[in-house]
Amino acid sequence: MISLVGGVAAVLAAAALLGGIAGMATGRSQWSPWLAVLYGYNAEYRVTSRDALRGVHTVDVALLLLAGTTYAGFWPGPGTSHIVWMTLAIAQPLLGIPLLMVTKLSGRSGLMGGALVLSILMLVDATSAMVAGLGVSASILLLVGDFGTNPRPSRILAGTLAVGCGSLAIWFCALAALLLT
């Protein structure tokens, strides 16, 4: 049952990411998760402001909740049991929610931190090397883009974020396939 719920959450997370990309393309950044807003800012797309990252946006909270639920779908771990590491993977996006509520800015990176832990566990247990590699790549690219964004937009970071965000959406689809089969 938990894998079914995790699989559905993965599909919804991928849809939220893809919808956010579409939202950014149509100039509706208020409906885009922070990853798409970071891309828009760095690409200087439609004059997206860094201030759009401040505050608590429903789509960001939903994406963190969906990520934590997706990761929980693999409980107690992909392959063999990894209770401590899986707890860390699941906790990162879920603890990011109250951190985001308090700071109005921080906590969103828990999605990528949890994805990185889950992907490494998938590599260790040879669950699916291609899916695991995609998760590691997407997480690293997005963490670099997230932490690297500063007051001066960067086209290099925009490219990093674009590839990372697309890879993350595909990764969530691949997780859904693993969980729902």
pLDDT tens-place string over residues 33-87: 888 888 888 877 765 677 777 888 888 999 999 999 999 999 998 888 899 999 9
Structural domain boundaries enclosing 88: 2-180
pLDDT of residue 25: 66
Phi and psi at residue 149, to the nearest 5°: -65, 130
List, in order, residues 6 or more apart from 15 with CB less than 8 Å away: none
Please report where in the chains the tokens 């960001």 appear, as a residue.
Answer: 60
pLDDT of residue 31: 64
pLDDT, one tens digit per residue, over 119-142 is 999 999 888 899 999 999 999 999
Instruction: Flag whether pLDDT at 22 surpasses 80.
Output: no
Q: Rounded distance, CA 68 to CA 141, Å?
A: 20
The tally of domains found in the chain comes to 1
Q: What is this structure's pTM?
A: 0.90
Q: Rounded distance, CA 65 to CA 57, Å?
A: 13
Q: Rounded distance, CA 114 to CA 175, Å?
A: 13
Average confidence score pLDDT of the chain: 89
